[in-house]
Amino acid sequence: MPASPPRPEPFAPQASGAALEDLRRRLRATRWPDAPQDAGWSLGTDLGYLRELVAYWADGFDWPAQELALARIPRFRVRLGGLGIHFAHVRAAAPAGPVLPLVLGHGWPDSFWRYVKVVPLLTDPGAHGADPADAFDVVVPDMPGYGYSDRPAGPPLDSVAVAGLWAQLMSVLGYERFGAAGGDIGSHVARYLALDHPNRVVAVHRTDAGVPLYAGDPAGLTPEERAWLRDGAAWAAAEGAYAAVHRTKPQTAAVGLGDSPAGLAAWIVEKLRAWSDCGGDIERSFTRDEILTDVTLYWLTGTIGSSMRMYRANAAIAPAQLARRVEVPSGFALFPADLLRPPRAWLERTANTVHVSEPPRGGHFAAFEEPELYAQELRDFFRPYRRAVASTAR
């Protein structure tokens, strides 16, 4: 007798009072390090800012209210590849034409949280001053080891394997053809969706081109591409220590980050500030409640170690995989404060690039920082591909 197909079940987590009291107790008992006078953010997370944030986390932050707000987005869990996968799934509110299913991929240090602001703009554009004909059915999964998805008990999954899971997820939801978009590791996953499932992915949109890697003769690159490779190496030397830890010794860091919520906040908050278009003031891009929602998701799910281990898996992806060219129509939005902005020549070398835009504001977390700009970018890019799909899960 054939096995029954996977069946998504509604999911609405609620943290226990004991878990929240334990968190507050740990925050109040933080053993603070010293810091050189006037160090600010130059050596990592600013200690003065972190102390204020931790005090608010312990005595002012209302996690149940944030949990309730997140619960307004329909969320589910389904078993795929032996793992429980958590995802948001929101259908187009008032479609005025062909509805394009769209799977969105997050990265680190986040989860489905990255897209909570943009989901209503994509599913109900008419309610936000845009054309109702641009409505999407939106699927936002947590990668294994992130958020409310299961942590792999064995070796971590790489982006190729996650792309395979997302293809399965879209089949479970009844979507034969769909668009894919993402940033950070989610960009990597979207790339492999397009590479390994080109008959299903009608177009792919990314906010970056990944870490610059090139195994050929640099003489064959344009001057702009060679400069980009040099910039990437310089960035890795100055800013890439976190990634080296994730790739090589994630378990060592996980002990401290999984035991100390203040340490966890320090590890994540520094990246939110450095990678966003905040001009050095993190609260220009994120409110304290938004920052702590991201960090608290990591704390309550215990996923900081498993999220870091994915870097190790991705570092082992074969060079031949990294060298593959995406032939599915590809679009890129290069936000001004993102980490590494590739030149057009590189995008055309590595993908069938049909669209490149440079929005005026936004950084690495563009979907959260500038949801209106990001939503309009996706509407504009995917509009020509809507009639290539027929949603079968209405």
- Give the pLDDT score at 94: 80
Residue 364 among the catalytic residues: yes
Given the residues 311, 338, 374, 385, the one annotated as active site: 311
| 168-183: average pLDDT | 98
Range of the domain at 179: 22-28+41-388
Given the residues 49, 106, 364, 374, the one annotated as active site: 364
Number of domains making up the chain: 1
- Give the pLDDT score at 2: 57
Which one, of 180, 97, 83, lies nearest residue 139 by Cα?
A: 180
267 band by pLDDT with thresholds 50, 70 and 90: very high
- Give the pLDDT score at 211: 79
| 191-214: average pLDDT | 94
In a domain, residue 1? The reply is: no
CB–CB of 152/306 below 8 Å? Answer: yes
In a domain, residue 64? The reply is: yes
Q: What mean pLDDT, rounded, does the chain reach?
A: 95
- Look at residue 389 and give its three-state secondary structure: coil
Given the residues 158, 184, 208, 338, the one annotated as active site: 184
Residue 184 among the catalytic residues: yes
Residue 340 has pLDDT above 90, yes or no: no
- Give the pLDDT score at 215: 77
345-382 residue pLDDT tens: 999 999 999 999 999 999 999 999 999 999 999 999 99
In a domain, residue 6? The reply is: no
269 band by pLDDT with thresholds 50, 70 and 90: very high
220 band by pLDDT with thresholds 50, 70 and 90: confident
CATH number assigned to the domain comprising residue 104: 3.40.50.1820
Residue 212 to residues 106, 215, 226, 302, 323, Cα–Cα distance (Å): 19, 10, 10, 31, 11
Peptide bond into 74 cis (omega under 30): no
18-72 residue pLDDT tens: 999 999 999 999 999 999 999 999 999 999 999 999 999 999 999 999 999 999 9
In a domain, residue 191? The reply is: yes
In a domain, residue 35? The reply is: no
- Give the pLDDT score at 394: 46
In a domain, residue 271? The reply is: yes
Half-sphere exposure of 234 (CA within 13 A, CB side): 8
Q: Please report the DSSP string for 279-314 in residue order.
A: TT-GGGT--HHHHHHHHHHHHHHT-HHHHHHHHHHH
In a domain, residue 394? The reply is: no
In a domain, residue 246? The reply is: yes
